[in-house]
Amino acid sequence: MKSLVGLVPLTTVLGAFTTPVVYLATKSRRATFAYATLFSLSALVLSLAVAVEVYAGKEVVVYNAGGWPGPVGIVYVVDGVNALLALVTAFLSFLIFVYSYEYIRDSGYPWYLVMLLGAETGLLGVIYTGDVFNLFVMIEVTAISSYGLVMYYRWRATSIVSGLKYAFIGALGTTGFLLALAIVYAVFGSLNLVDIGLKAMGYPGSTVTGGPLEDAALAIGLVLALSLWAFTIKSGVFPNHFWLPDAHPAAPTPVSALLSGLVVNAGAVSLYKVLYLGFSASQLPGVRVVVESVSLIALVTGLASSFLGGLLMVVQADVKRLIAYSTVMNMGFVFMSIATLSPIGVLGFVYYTVVHSLAKATLFLSVGPVIRAAASRRLDRIAGLGRSILPSGAALAVSTLTLAGVPPLPGFLGKLLIYQALFQYNVAAAVLFVVSSAVGLVSYMRLFYVLLVSPPTQTPAPVHAPLMKSVLAVLSALLIASGLVFTFSRSAFDYVFYEPVKAVGDVASYLKSLSTSLYGLPG
């Protein structure tokens, strides 16, 4: 049963490598798409099975790759939080595959499918892994696929130049993270997150990887600074957000949904793993100071990012650029939530990440048919078209209102959780969060008004796309249902979000409980 965890990323990577073969053998668009989508569906089923196993068993599933136990081998550590995030990732990716069948009409589709499966593999790996070097590899797998997907329209100079900008800055960030890993290996002699966490707390850790540390605060500071730099690049958070509003709109619309909904999560999940799980439990005075200052920097960058994203959203004329800036804003919220390093902050991070992924993907996917009907991305050209393309309009309304935080849609609860977490951390930060949220609200309402209320400037060409429309219907129904369930039913919210977060809430005891399963002896 435990081997299922290892199968999840393996399934999609197997699909990625065999899809071109199916294309060459059949030359059939339908068969190639069906084949790739089947692998995405398998990943969804498998990650659902893993989530059921973790939730029903109420325990952390540890998978040793190749049978080598940690800290020697690569381990996948799946707790409730990881299982939930992976399930959302697999679910959205599957819907994006279905949507792409009607959207991607040119001859590059086999390679498109390969890269889409590659990005899904990387994301699932980032979420499941409990090994920092494997985290680096999986971030790179996601990143390379995303660079390729941004450059998909290779006859358009915009796509190529945006993709190059993304690739240069992304490669700089991940190589910086590799430098951080070199320091980690030099100091801790280990790449296992649990082992590193225990050693940073002053425990002996594994005997295989060397004895306990004297004082590693300086090295930990370097590691955290380099990691934070890399993760802000991956998530498009303030000083490194500038590639995102170029790269996300340049890609085909389903890819924009994948990038803005899921790929940006890779940075946030990595920050949660390295900063929160890895080092936040340490009570050593030197390490404590370093962790607190890095988390303060993460909070400030998150805050700056949310203000910048919110303010620049207002002036955009291109609908996809507007949504891309909204991603900059929302990732700022997520970073702020993680930076509080409190259990409620993690609860806010998990809940808001899930909601943002669903809503942002829905928003991008719902403007797809509108853009196609109007043959333009300019807001003044697509005004009022939301009403005439029905499931699109409904999905647009639901996702915009979710992101704006209107109750009882799920976004409201997410903002409330982040507000609570920030209020405990620092009242000023909480107030600034509300202000930046209000700045964003203006732009969401503008988007809502322009697309759904203002009079149409043109009559759209009819869009015949039953799959795209059903994907949108499923997503908007899911958003409304989850909003109603999680806002009004405390027990459902507790079961899905609160219980898993409570398990990782006390990091010290979480790491100690894992050390038993990793080394066979208590830490």
Partner 1 sequence: MSEAGLVWSLLVGLLAVNLLVSVYGIIYGRSLTKKLISLTIFSDTVYVFFIMVGYRLVYPTVPPVYVELTRDQLEYLAKHAVDPVPQALVLTGIVIGMAVNALIGFGIIQAYRLKKTVTARELVGFEEVE
Contact residues: partner 1, CB under 8 A: 133, 136-137, 140, 143-144, 147-148, 151, 154-158, 160-161, 163-164, 167-168, 171-172, 175-176, 178-179, 181-182, 185-186, 191, 249-250, 318, 371, 375-377
Output 83 or 149, the one with its CB closest to partner 1. 149
> What's the min distance (Å) between Cβ of 114 and partner 1?
13
Question: Please, what is the angle between helix 427-452 and helix 285-314, to 10°?
Answer: 30
Output 30 or 214, the one with its CB closest to partner 1. 214
Instruction: Report the 10 Å Cβ neighbour count for 299.
Output: 25
> What's the min distance (Å) between Cβ of 372 and partner 1?
8
Output 168 or 449, the one with its CB closest to partner 1. 168
Q: What residues contact residue 150 under an 8 Å CB cut-off, 6+ apart? A: 159, 162, 163, 166, 247, 248, 250, 251, 255, 259
Rounded to an integer, what distance in angstroms lies between the CA atom of residue 435 and that of residue 457?
34
Output 158 or 457, the one with its CB closest to partner 1. 158
Instruction: Report the 10 Å Cβ neighbour count for 354.
Output: 22
> What's the min distance (Å) between Cβ of 270 and partner 1?
16
> What's the min distance (Å) between Cβ of 344 and partner 1?
36
DSSP for 405-416, written as a single string = T-TTSHHHHHHH
Q: Estimate to the nearest angstrom the gap between the alpha carbon of 523 and the chain centroid.
A: 32
> What's the min distance (Å) between Cβ of 133 and partner 1?
6
Q: Would you give the DSSP letter of residue 153?
A: S
SS3 content of the chain, % helix, strand, coil (to 5): 80, 0, 20
Rounded to an integer, what distance in angstroms lies between the CA atom of residue 191 and that of residue 71?
7
The answer to whether 320 and 367 have CB atoms below 8 angstroms apart is yes
Residue 362: what are its φ and ψ, rounded to 5°? -60, -45
Pairing of strands 75-78, 61-64: antiparallel
Output 224 or 479, the one with its CB closest to partner 1. 224
What the block records as the tokens of 497 is 């979000």
Output 157 or 289, the one with its CB closest to partner 1. 157
The answer to whether 369 and 389 have CB atoms below 8 angstroms apart is yes
Rounded to an integer, what distance in angstroms lies between the CA atom of residue 289 and that of residue 271?
18
Rounded to an integer, what distance in angstroms lies between the CA atom of residue 266 and that of residue 95?
19
Helix/strand/coil for 212: coil
> What's the min distance (Å) between Cβ of 465 and partner 1?
16
> What's the min distance (Å) between Cβ of 168 and partner 1?
6
Radius of gyration of the chain (CA): 22
Rounded to an integer, what distance in angstroms lies between the CA atom of residue 409 and that of residue 485?
10
Output 55 or 242, the one with its CB closest to partner 1. 242
Rounded to an integer, what distance in angstroms lies between the CA atom of residue 230 and that of residue 298?
12
> What's the min distance (Å) between Cβ of 377 and partner 1?
5
> What's the min distance (Å) between Cβ of 342 and partner 1?
34
> What's the min distance (Å) between Cβ of 398 and partner 1?
24
User: Would you say how long the chain is, in residues?
Assistant: 523
Output 25 or 375, the one with its CB closest to partner 1. 375
Rounded to an integer, what distance in angstroms lies between the CA atom of residue 68 and that of residue 78?
17
What the block records as the tokens of 390 is 């029905």
> What's the min distance (Å) between Cβ of 155 and partner 1?
7
Output 88 or 383, the one with its CB closest to partner 1. 383
What the block records as the tokens of 170 is 């992304």
Which amino acid is located at 424 in the chain? Q
> What's the min distance (Å) between Cβ of 317 and partner 1?
11
Output 122 or 386, the one with its CB closest to partner 1. 122
Output 245 or 309, the one with its CB closest to partner 1. 245
Output 278 or 368, the one with its CB closest to partner 1. 368
